[in-house]
Amino acid sequence: MKVPLTKPQSRALALLLVLGVIVLGAGCASVDTGPFTQFASSLQSLRTGSDSQAGAAVTASRQELVEKVATGEVSPGALQLEVDNPSNPYVTSYGFAEKEPNFAKLIRFRQGLAALNDAMIAYAQSLVVLSGGGQGGDILPTSAQFDQMAQDLNANAGTAASALGVNIGPDQQALLSTVAVQLFKAYIENKRRKDLAEAIGEVQPRIDEFSHAAQEAVHFLATMVNTDYDKKVLPLATVQPPNATPILNLNDTTQATLATLEALSSSYGAVRDAHRDLKAATAKKPSGLSGLIALTNEAIRLQGFVNQLAKANATAAAATQ
């Protein structure tokens, strides 16, 4: 037999139900996926720009090495590859005992920068999934699936840290610390925005360090461009009869390259504040997000310089034919 509720009991029950809805809504409301998708998209532009510049540096350094072998400065035998670890026959490197040429260094450098970009993009894409913007929509990965994602991501981060000489603390150069992984898994289990915000905050120091490492890498590329310019401009300046066109073409490509690298450095610098904004983006009604806007603008500016550089290189190539 049902016992009828008195009016006070009915009001109390209704109040509890309302409070329950409010509490659940405050903790488990879906997160706006837009900022996370925007962050991941901007990082894709950075990867494109950095890989093209690192690739150009490798190509120029390779040609320099070819010339050194032709003049006898480097022995052809020094170019032989060596297996670094017999138990891992898949990894080789150049076996220069001393005075390792820039070409060999730049190959490792390019691989490290690529691994860094891959790690940051994989992390950004995981945030898109966790915010509900993945192919599965609001269906989040399981804790076990996220563990595997974190392992793969940290493997790339470790490779990048080793290649670029980054020391990011005691957690084996991982982008996602043990604490961060546990916080992300808590978010997966409970769907509470505060867990996602805390997890992103836990990752922030690592993002700061990786962002700084990327800027240092770009600075190194800029020094290589200046060194290459100094080597090329002197023969052009002393040619007889004098010809200004090759020098001007070299100047155009050099300035376009340096402008692209400066934009790339600024873009990596903007990653720090943009990621910090993602913590705020977990709120029910995020506002501002100026860091994320700045990163987007930098990525657009970078793409403009990349296009300008492509045109300058095409003009220079046509002039030498």
Is residue 26, in this structure, part of any structural domain at all? no
Is 3 within a domain? Answer: no
Give domain status of residue 1, yes or no: no
In a domain, 16, yes or no: no
**pTM beyond 0.85, yes or no:** no
- Identify the pLDDT of residue 41: 92
Is residue 22's pLDDT more than 50? no
pLDDT band for position 27 (50/70/90)?
A: very low
The answer to whether residues 133 and 39 touch, using CB atoms and an 8 Å cutoff, is: no
Supply the DSSP string of 134-202, one letter for each residue.
Answer: BTTBT-PPPHHHHHHHHHHHHHHHHHHHHHHT----TTTT-SS-HHHHHHHHHHHHH--HHHHHHHHHH
Q: For residues 105 and 93, what is the distance between their CA atoms, to the nearest angstrom?
A: 10
3-state secondary structure of 83: strand
Closest CA to 107 of 94, 98, 95: 94
Residue 15 has what pLDDT?
Answer: 37
pLDDT recorded at residue 258:
92
Q: Report yes or no on 15 lying in a domain.
A: no
Residue 18 lies in a domain: no
Residue 190 lies in a domain: yes
Enclosing domain of residue 156: 32-320
pLDDT band of residue 160 (cuts 50, 70, 90) is confident
Give the chain's domain count.
1
pLDDT in tens, 181-223: 999 999 999 888 899 999 999 999 989 988 998 898 889 889 9
Tokens read off for 39: 């962050």
pLDDT of 11 over the 80 cut: no
| Residues 242, 248, 253, 254, CA torsion sign | positive
Query: For position 37, what pLDDT does the model report?
Result: 92
Instruction: Inform me whether the pLDDT recorded for 80 exceeds 90.
Output: no
Quote the crossing angle between the two packed helices 290-320 and 34-70, to the nearest 10°.
Answer: 30
**What whole-number distance in Å separates Cα of residue 224 and Cα of residue 60?**
9
Residue 22 lies in a domain: no
The DSSP 8-state label assigned to residue 119 in this structure reads H
CA distances from 106 to 55, 228, 240, 264 (A): 9, 14, 35, 18
Please name the residue that has the structure tokens 């990867």: 47
Residue 131 contacts residue 183 (beta carbons within 8 Å)? no
In this prediction, residue 12 carries a pLDDT of: 39
Q: What is the pLDDT of residues 61-71, one digit of tens each?
A: 888 889 888 99
